[in-house]
Structure 1
Amino acid sequence: MPAQLPADLDQSHDPARTSWVASANGHADFPIQNLPLGIFSPPGGAPRAGVAIGDEILDLPAALAAGLFAGDAEEAAQAANGSDLNALFALGRGPRQALRRRLSEILSADSPDRSKAEGLLQAAATVALHRPARIGDYTDFYVGIHHATHVGKLFRPDNPLLPNYKHVPIGYHGRASSIVASGVPVRRPKGQIMPPGATAPVFGPSQRLDYELELGVWIGTGNDLGEPVPVGSAGDHVAGFCLLNDWSARDIQAWEYQPLGPFLAKNFASSISPWVITPEALAPFRMAQPPRPAGDPAPLPYLTDAGDAAAGAFDIELEVLISTEGLKDKGLPPHRLALSNTRHMYWTVAQMIAHHTSGGCNLQPGDLLGSGTISGPTRGASGSILETTDGGREPIRLASGEERRFLADGDEVIFTARARRGGFASIGFGSCRATILPAR
């Protein structure tokens, strides 16, 4: 392993470690260095916790029953012995780290526990994957500065960013009940729309349906009502990460968002990837928060921490693909729409949590935060089709001969993510995907 490793790295991060699960070795998303947690249903079975390893899933309750855990790792496995991960999230960092280390030992190529664990695997292709936790509350932030700038230019060419953007992590409270797992179709929403040149709105299906490429943040241990979380310890409240597609009906949003903000344009659905990528798995891919451009204000003291500035950001590549009926009919692969990176977040995850709780709001295990759309500085890194097509003025041309200004019924939008760094095994998030169904 590389010399001078940070304190939060251990042998579970060793790039030379391989697994007796053959498909894990060199796996694009789930090598033994990842070990994400999720909830799955085996054929004919009830939802239960599992760990992704290559193309397989280790049944966590079955591993617990087989006596494979002890101490803090056993406590964590017992907390995950249900149909969601909320109780495990609530335990915090220590038991979760112990569980990861023990899982790495069980699944490593030279493990003496192989004979006990081999029969506890389920082929991932044969199971159903679910939301990993009960989501009590959902908050969507707006920390992608390039997205904020690009969208702002469409409506305010001379003043794209509002004055507060660089002072405060902007966010709004979303709808938790309509957050669905990857693979669940999304129905085109209806709402009030003000057509161009019209003097009165109409009610009907959105014609400007869009995706939003976001990083999802799962909250672990919460905080008491009235007790803010300091930015320096905010990371202790993170249970993991996922991909988040916060679908947006741009034409509905344009009419309704003033004066109070998004409503029907957002609450019809948000999609999340099913695997919880733990902070420990992402530890090798942390980085310093990119320096603010000259002239930008420094964060206020409650949002400032030296440790967070030094290692509070992440280097995670984010990709958006689209598969249309025309592409599928011609046997063509999905078309890449964008390639972005979490390094383009203007605020860190810790700053988001510190600001969220600064007024006394209590976060709870299983709450979900969205980063907001993460776009890069170029059009090829845009995290929404609104940006890619310049508000629908410049259509995307596909190899099938189709064009897209916004999403059409039958389109499947696919998000993927990968973290890479020299000297470490790369890991991925799996996919977050959904197909658009016609409005009812």
Structure 2
Amino acid sequence: MADHDAAAQAAALAEEFAPDLGAILFTIYPDADSLDTLRPGQTDPDSVNAANRAAAAVLAREGVQVFAQRADRGAFRRYMDGREDSQANRLAWRDRDRLLQGDAALQALGLDPKQARPRPSAAKITGSPADRLVRAFGDGGGPEFDDLAEELLAAGRDGVLDVARRKVAERFGDEAAEDFAASLLTLAEGAELGPSGWASLVALPVALQPGPLPDAAAIGASMIAAGLLEEALDIRFLPEWRAPERLAALSPVALRRVLLDMLEGRAPKDMPPAASLQGQDFALLLGLQIDWEIPVWEEVALNGLPEAPDEPPEGEEPELTPEQHARMQLFDRWRAGVFESSGGCVPLGLVAASETGAEIADFLAEAGSRSEGIEEIRNFVAVARDEARGEKVVCVPQVEGEALRLALYTESGSFLDELRLEADQLPVAAAEMPPLLAAFVTLVEAPPGG
């Protein structure tokens, strides 16, 4: 009776949550020991598995992607090693290498795969495909627009999307047409596909310096090894440089083809390696990002659906969590290392593929202001060398919060001058400036003779 009640409650919750779930992960417990290891205090694996089966049956019928993993005590203990023993960490375990999906997941849960149904489309507007898409966009977008656009992307109907874009321009203006095109690219670069149920294209644009190109594969590997990514993300970079201009020229359907090719392990024909980047200012690494943060049924049943983060007021940047701030600092250190080892190449931010152009434009705008700081340092050192009358000049750098103070001395210990630069005047974080400064002035830890 208790098992029946638990299963009925799970099915009712699944009915409630199904409209807001794209994918869900169930854990199958083969015995009481595995259940106790992963969920201390629970002792009845049959009851838990029955409740999971009931919820999965409902969700599969509602078109939610169902994933399953078998509780593996060894793999779980290896995952927990070094982590705090908290409920959140326990629920965050994903057996990425052996995750089941589709028919295999349903069969493992004890369900007939024929129970699964495609998710009902939210698109109810009638008319030609282009007109339906335009009307959905004019009504504010949302699920109906997304579903209509997804149907056209999946069918490869670039022509219809182009007609719709022109109609949006005629009806709502050029700015709206740009928003429409951007929305299509955003939809095209990510999809409910892949081993975790969500995959997307990302890009790492890099500002180049004259001379030989740095090793693309080495830069991509070093970024992943530097621990810059959120734990739930897995990125696989293609090993060669690509041209940003080629990416910017892709239609939404072509961008989706790139995603599908990379998911299948194929080199994307629409984004081949750059034949030559001679004289180019930027190149990019193209990556496939797998998001493993599939909601776990036990957590959803316990805490409800994950809450969307609060949106900051318009014009304000979102407040960073301590983890995000730490990753930003790691990124600054990694970027400074790449700058030094590559002869001056600068990785920009890791962004969604469709945002590459905007990231480069932002970098150029920021570099225009920050390059003035580097030029100011060069001039500062040059003036000091004139004052030193041939004696060697050395620099004592001091980080003051996010600012950088530079004090110049002669090698014999005579003070020459000092300069303070704020964070917005520096090309990288203050703590990462010394390798850059060392290129044109000798650095010392303390004033000579002090």
Quickly name the TM-score band, shorter chain normalised.
under 0.3
Q: Which has the higher contact order (CA 8 A, sep 6+)?
A: 1
**Structure with bigger gyration radius:** 2
Task: Using structure 1 for the length normalisation, give the TM-score.
Answer: 0.25
Which is helix-richer, 1 or 2?
Answer: 2
